[in-house]
Structure 1
Amino acid sequence: MRTPLLAALLLAIAPVVAVASPCQQGSVFEDRNGNGRRDAGERGLAGIRVSDGTQVVVTDREGRFQLPGEAAMVTVVKPAGYRAAARADGLPDIWRQAGQADTDAAGACRAFALVPEPRAPQTLKALVMADSQTASQLDVDYFRRDIIEPLRGRHGAQLGMTLGDITNDDPSLYPALVAATTSLGVPWLHVPGNHDMDVDATSDADSLRSYHRHLGPDTYAWEERQMVFIGLDDVIARPGTKPAYVAGLREEQFTFLEQYLGGLDDSRLVVIGVHMPLFDPSFRPADRQRLFDLLARFPKRLVLSAHTHQQQHVFHDVAAGWKGEGRLHEYNVGAACGAFWSGVKDAQGIPDTTMSDGTPNGHGLLTVQADGRYMLEYRVARGEASEQMRLHAPRVLRRGAYPAWGVYANVFMGHEDTEVEFRVDGGPWTPMKKVLRPDPWLLAQNVADDTSAVLRGYDRSPEASPSSHLWRGALPTTLEVGEHVVEVRARLDSGQAGAQTRYALQHAGP
């Protein structure tokens, strides 16, 4: 059929309007048999929170909800004591999106299914990953072999999350990344990063089309018995400008936080997951202060962030604008891709990819007790749990020389309150001094890259930058000629860790 000219012109100039989700009203039910469908006898669940990313409503006695306006995405807050049904790709089925197959045969919103989980463990373990940042299928293969495969069948976690920069400006890789993470057999959550924005976006509002289609909501909550996790997109896109983004939160996100946190028991541990660190220079100060003020009434809280491709702990205090009890702990998680999959490849063909602060690539592990007390650990990719530091010392020193050379300990989870000590040949333990300087192990890699006539890897190791978790102890030179054993121990929040290295003393030659 030929379209009349006037109608064609009207269509051409009509503004593009976001399609609203059919799920402004819907229902949540108890999926007793776990098949994802509402069968006869399966009841609606009352008191379940549902959100469109701004407003938060609660289901009635029949499990029904009604949101006040139109939205492109609707999300259920998974409550403690239940698990979410799985979508076809293995991700938790907690969202409904406009334009996707989220309606039933009658055109109504497909109901949210929650499966009873009465025997959940008292202690929650969550895998915390940052910046898988894959730019190709080869990078996805690195991620799968380096990070995911060593965890299969041995991680002991009940939840997983990736804190942004899931891919590196290539959303076509999302399905392969989802297949990798969901193969671990736990619900997997995401928050978007600056490299998850669509490169052809024209505004902040349309910057996450691909992310939403593949990974779901960018503002949501997920409840466990031990904690509440809140995922927030804190990247404000500014297409066509420099910088192309800043860090902060949107007004509708503050409305969501005010409504959700306002109905939350303040005895709960609240964990905020974002991509951009709250300490990033681009984070809008007023937004950070508003978030601080919303969290201040919760004695137990934690912020998890990513983006820096370093690992560090930041404790926000009164000087930073924090007004709550104690200090607000932010754990900036080391990247799964490390230094963007750079460095020399090993025998398995996987790059070393140590980050610029000397931290090997890997992932975090969050353990939360029933009362909300938490513990954070780091796991080096393909490493043992005991691998918590890297030591660097000279191989040989002159006996009798001035003791101007030291052993360095890069304690990956170290922070300003960490105690680190060393001893030589079983002697007395001596405190090491925390120093803000580049890791000498990585500096040696930089020199090797500089002096090599050919590339040692696809990309060089990153230039070493000052590390926030480096300690130094001066090595004695008055011992006997020969080899000496250096031991280092650190009292981490998760317990004591140790490592050892060796150096030798020699007589000077003529």
Structure 2
Amino acid sequence: MPRFSVLLSSLVLALPVQAVEIAGRVHDGGRGVGGVLVSNGETLVRTDADGRYRIDVEDGQTVFVIKPPQCALPTGEDGLPVFWRHYLPEGTPTLRYGGIAPTPADASWDFALDCSVPAAAPPFDVLVFGDTQVTRSEDVGYYREDIVAPILSGRSPGREARFGVTLGDVVNDRLSLYPELNAVTAQLGIPWLHAAGNHDMDFDAAHDTASLTNFRRTYGPDTLAYEEGPVSLLVLDDVIYRPGERPAYVGGLREDQFAFLEAYLGQLPRERLVVLAMHIPLFTPAGKRETFRAADRERLYRLLEPFPNVLVLSAHTHVQQHYFHGAEDGWRGASPLHEYNVGAVCGGFWGGAKDARGVPDAVMADGTPNGHALMRVEADGGYSLRYVPAKGDPEAGLRLYGPRVLRRGAYPGVPVYANVFMGIDGDRVEMRIGDGDWTPMTRVDEPDPHVVRINLADDAAGSLRGFDRVPQAVPSTHLWRAMLPTDLASGVHVVEVRAFDRWRGELRAQTRYRLDDAEP
């Protein structure tokens, strides 16, 4: 390239992006709604008493309303909330899964709200879905049968939830499945928000800015705030696309996102419950390379530390765990920052043998069954959490695994395991035999034997037992163990385990084993 062309290109790149001012109105049936926050993804403005606002916007930005607690959002034909509009005078390049059309020159920047509905009084529930991650239409059917239908029928809790959020990896690289999946989610009949995941990216995009073109075409802004009752939900795209590198993404936040967070959190009352909904966890799993940029995490810590009530919801790992960020992580808040890394709706990637309904087992690598979570927002700004297994008893909070028969008098070296799905290190988990005394179980970092058994059965099978296998077992963070006694009478003995969940209270499960007499 000639030197003049290089200099000209550099000069063009150095020119500031031209912003234009747009004007609009936020209204409820024609009546202006004052005091509503409107954002371009970086800055915030409030509507005046007649609902009018003005804001500068740059090419590529999305203008959106931050729903106030006392109002509701209208829904579009796809059942998703309508609260945003892209500013793209030239549109976007067309990628494999399409692009975003140019914004009409006469586009309206008005937004509607419905403020006639009563404000949500806590407590109320929020449905939280980890990776739905569908690859085929068949997976969408599993999602409908395994997750959505039980909620609609009342068999699984969540029917009365105020709204819901999916924590990324909505699909598994097949962005064309968005409409089909959204049609199923819309059956729940509540407002639904979506965080972006690493499998929601346009991998044919040239850079990070364009990597969520089709996600944004479907779901709007990749970073937003949503207010309901005493909670502010911040939905964040925390996947930084790095084309040509391995891996092609890393967890982190962009400068425009930090600008938005600083502006929004800066005007928020300190007593408000702040919940972050994102895909990649803030913490780095033990023994792994850095999966979230440390500098970004530190900046986020500083913004969140003034708030006493903060919860982080993440997904991505296809296991379930709790992490408490403390001083050793760089967190300086008054109490540890709780991150709930939610188990996946698709569990082990919709893998495993199918049940009588034709739905795959989908157990996760740590032994957690696939399912969904519920977050209850409390009146005092607090929260409670529960996990709902998709299969079996939706009230079950643990699964036991132990032997069927042991030799009476043998060395007591065979354990019973309790996988406590929402278990946290330090929780009280106890076992008793029959009506005997309760004795503590020990938390262990081991693979769940139930998943190991499935892995071995897949290995031994002469033909495929499912379209895909469940993942290989990994050490679970919520597995407890106790050795079974062999010095009891011959016959069947009932093993009872109780776990004390910090939100649901006491949970119990039973199994049995038999002691047989034997001669050498």
TM-score (normalizing by structure 2)? 0.90
- Separation in 1, partners of 2:119, 2:108: 33
Give the aligned partner of residue 73 of structure 1: 62
Q: What SS does the corresponding residue of 1:257 show, helix, strand or coil?
A: helix
Cα distance, 1:225 vs structure 2:
1.1
Cα distance in 1 between the residues matched to 2:20 and 2:122: 38
The 8 Å contact of residues 21 and 97 in structure 1, kept in 2 or not, is answered as: no
Give 2:518's aligned amino acid. Answer: A
Q: Give deviations 1:73-101, integer Å, cap 9, x for gaps.
A: 11110000111111121111111124679
Alpha-carbon distance change, 456 to 56 in structure 1, aligned in 2, over 3 angstroms: same
Whether the aligned pair in 1 keeps the contact of 2:86 and 2:103 (CA below 8 Å) is no
Deviation at 1:20, TM superposition (A): 10
Q: Distance in 1 between matches of 2:213 and 2:21?
A: 18
Which amino acid is the alignment partner of residue 127 of structure 1? Answer: L
**Alignment partner of 1:28 is 2:26:** yes
Cα distance in 2 between the residues matched to 1:173 and 1:20: 35
Instruction: Within 5 Å, give how 1:104-503 maps onto structure 2.
Output: 107-118=107-118, 120-154=120-154, 155-280=159-284, 281-493=290-502, 494-503=504-513
Q: Structure 2: which amino acid aligns with 1:220?
A: L
Displacement after TM superposition at 1:45 (Å):
1.3
Q: Which letter does structure 2 place at the counterpart of 1:159?
A: F
Residues 478, 45 of structure 1: alpha-carbon distance in 2 compared, 3 angstrom cutoff: same
- 1:69 shift after superposition: 2.9
Cα 1:116–1:102 change in 2 (3 A) is farther
1:367-415 C-alpha deviation (Å, 9 max, x unpaired):
0111111100000014434211110001111101111011100000001
Secondary structure, in 3 states, of the residue corresponding to 2:302? helix
Q: CA separation in 2, counterparts of 1:104 and 1:123?
A: 43
Post-superposition shift, 1:25?
2.3
User: Contact conserved, 2:349 with 2:470, CA < 8 A, in 1?
Assistant: no
Q: Would the aligned equivalents of 1:21 and 1:96 in 2 still touch at CA under 8 Å?
A: no
Could you give the per-residue CA deviations for residues 85-122 of structure 1, whole angstroms, max 9, x where no partner exists? 11121111111124679989964324333333225333
Assess, with a 3 A threshold, how the Cα gap between structure 1 residues 495 and 101 changes in structure 2: closer, same or farther. Answer: farther
What's 1:8 paired with?
none
| Secondary structure of the corresponding residue to residue 412 of structure 2 | coil
Contact 1:84–1:93, Cα closer than 8 Å, also in 2: yes
Aligned pair in 2 of structure 1 residues 229, 67: CA closer, same or farther (>3 Å)? same
Question: 1:4 corresponds to which residue?
Answer: none
Classify the secondary structure of the residue corresponding to 1:323.
coil
Distance in 1 between residues matched to 2:347 and 2:405, nearest whole Å: 31
Q: Report the number of matched residues.
A: 484
Question: Displacement, 1:460?
Answer: 1.7
Q: Aligned letter for 1:293?
A: R
Given that 1:78 and 1:114 are in contact with CA atoms closer than 8 Å, whether structure 2 keeps it comes out as no
8 Å Cα contact 1:191-1:274 kept in structure 2: yes
Hey, what's the Cα distance between the residues in 2 that align with 1:128 and 1:23?
Answer: 37
Q: Check conservation: 2:19, 2:56, Cα contact below 8 A.
A: no
Letter in 2 for 1:122: P
Relative to the length of structure 1, the TM-score reads: 0.91
Q: Match of 2:32, SS?
A: coil
User: Which whole-Å CA distance do the structure 1 matches of 2:267 and 2:119 have between them?
Assistant: 26
Q: For residue 44 of structure 1, report the CA deviation from its aligned partner.
A: 1.0
- Structure-2 separation of matches of 1:357 and 1:23: 51
Q: Measure the CA separation in 2 of the matches of 1:20 and 1:185.
A: 40
Aligned to 2:74: 85
Task: In structure 2, give the amino acid aligned to 1:26.
Answer: G
Equivalent position of 1:95 in the other structure: 84
The alpha-carbon deviation at position 143 of structure 1 amounts to 0.8
Structure 2 residue runs without a partner (length 5+): 1-11, 92-99, 285-289
CA deviation string 1:21-43 (max 9, x = no partner): 99932111123xxxxxxxxxx32
The answer as to whether partners of 1:103 and 1:109 remain within 8 angstroms in 2 is no
How far does the alpha carbon of each residue in 1:206-244 deviate from its partner, in whole angstroms, 9 at most, with x for none?
000110111111110000112110000000001122110
Aligned equivalents of 1:453, 1:169: Cα separation in 2: 31
